[in-house]
Amino acid sequence: MKKRSLSVYIHLPFCAQKCLYCDFASGPAGKEEIAAYMRLLTKEIRSFEAISSLYRVETVFFGGGTPSFVAPFYISQILNQLRKQYEFSETPEITLEANPGTLDAEKLVTYRKAGVNRLSLGLQSIHESELKLLGRIHSYEDFLESYEMARQAGFTNINVDLMSALPKQTMGKWKKTLETVAALKPEHISAYSLSIEEGTPFYERYGEGRIGRLDLPGEELDRAMYHFTKEYLGSQGYRRYEFSNYAKKGFESRHNMTYWTLGDYVGFGQAAASYLQGRRFSNPAGKEEYPEASRTAYQRFRAMAPQSEKEAMEEYMFLGLRTARGVSREDFQKRFGKPFPKQYEKELLELYRQDLVEQAGGRIWLTDAGIDVSNIILARFLLD
């Protein structure tokens, strides 16, 4: 029987210190807490043993949190456990998120030995004032040191995370960040706009109705930064392949493409999300709930009904239209055994007339103008 492709996400919810804008399931922890978490995580991975033989692992992604914060032998242990359970592709993509200030040469060597072949470095900005404002623990110099060490350790596939639309950020400062990072020639750059999330110190300062909100770049500047990013990175050989992700040819994140193309993925750890056999489920975000959730994850997955065809069609459109490849009538027919619903054809025709979507060779994707109003467009693919 042909095995299905699988992507595996491992959530490691530990950080040296909480950044001021962050609402991820993450925070500082001591050695004991980390060790206890790793035991639960390994058990959770093992609990899916009954279905492991159906899959071949194509990608693994260690996210968080700051996976480089924990002792590196944990990364080897988890990969060993996964390899024990699953057949791996001959060329798996194995990514680890790492933050400057938490990396050293020894860790990098251990990661390489364990099979990690892609690093994702959280930089956000090259400006000390912006890093400080965000509550990041590192300087730009720390990042440079980590980047050089990673290259020396043999990493030939590196992503750098950047963030625009920061309080008081000017176009000039954003340009400088992009230019400086592109000059280092990482293979991949993720560039997200800051989002102000409730429950964070940033929300208290910059949230709805707060005086600090005036420091945030307005919608117009935010969009101008976004357009500049595509234009500038394009001139440096990076193609935008998803709303916020840019890659040199052949370095698109295979793991993230699984998410956007409705491939199978399973997430282990606190707050980890899965989409497996048509079932969408996740572990709770609270660390108090994880011990129980980790023990029952497999049973919860088995007990869950697959999503309806209507939900799957809607997701196919929402997620596929985030990518530069867009969606295709042929893929849709293959996946659902039927052509696009009439409602979609009607919406697409209208969007096409307004230059918000483009099409060629059976594929349909959002234009730049379409991406600017993507929230409104994507809502039009909810089926009646």
Residues that bind ligand SF4 in the complex, under the rule CB under 6 A: 15, 18-19, 22, 24, 26, 64-66, 99, 122
CB of 99 to ligand SF4, least distance (A): 5
Q: Judged by CB, which is closer to ligand SF4: 22, or 313?
A: 22
CB of 128 to ligand SF4, least distance (A): 17
Those residues whose C-beta lies under 8 Å from the C-beta of residue 197, and which sit 6 or more positions away, are 21, 22, 23, 203
Q: Cβ(190)–Cβ(218) under 8 Å?
A: no
As given in the structure block, the two tokens for residue 46 are 């093992």
Burial 266-286 (b: 16+ CB within 10 A, else e): bbbbbbbebbbeebebbbebe
Q: Judged by CB, which is closer to ligand SF4: 135, or 341?
A: 135
CB of 69 to ligand SF4, least distance (A): 8
Q: Judged by CB, which is closer to ligand SF4: 136, or 173?
A: 136
Question: Residue 70 carries which DSSP code?
Answer: S
The residue assigned the tokens 């400062």 is 173
Short-list 174, 190, 191, 183, CA closest to 236? 183
Strands (DSSP E) found in 32-140: 55-64, 87-98, 118-124
CB of 137 to ligand SF4, least distance (A): 8
Q: Judged by CB, which is closer to ligand SF4: 74, or 86?
A: 74
As given in the structure block, the two tokens for residue 310 are 């209507």
Q: How far apart are alpha carbons 116 and 283 in whole angstroms?
A: 25
Ramachandran class of 250: left when φ > 0, alpha when ψ lies in -120 to 50, beta otherwise:
left
Q: Judged by CB, which is closer to ligand SF4: 64, or 326?
A: 64
Q: Judged by CB, which is closer to ligand SF4: 67, or 320?
A: 67
Those residues whose C-beta lies under 8 Å from the C-beta of residue 338, and which sit 6 or more positions away, are none
Q: Judged by CB, which is closer to ligand SF4: 33, or 347?
A: 33
Q: Judged by CB, which is closer to ligand SF4: 51, or 137?
A: 137
CB of 29 to ligand SF4, least distance (A): 11
CB of 269 to ligand SF4, least distance (A): 13
Q: How far apart are alpha carbons 134 and 177 in whole angstroms?
A: 15
The residue assigned the tokens 């293959």 is 334
Q: Judged by CB, which is closer to ligand SF4: 134, or 371?
A: 134
Short-list 33, 76, 61, 56, CA closest to 274? 61
CB of 271 to ligand SF4, least distance (A): 11
Q: Judged by CB, which is closer to ligand SF4: 138, or 240?
A: 138
CB of 84 to ligand SF4, least distance (A): 29
Q: Cβ(225)–Cβ(217) under 8 Å?
A: yes
CB of 298 to ligand SF4, least distance (A): 27
Neighbour-count burial of 207, counting CB atoms closer than 10 A to its CB (0-12 exposed, 13-18 middle, 19+ buried)? middle
Run of H or E including 275: strand 273-276
Strands (DSSP E) found in 13-78: 55-64
Stated length of the chain: 384
CB of 381 to ligand SF4, least distance (A): 31
SS3 301: helix
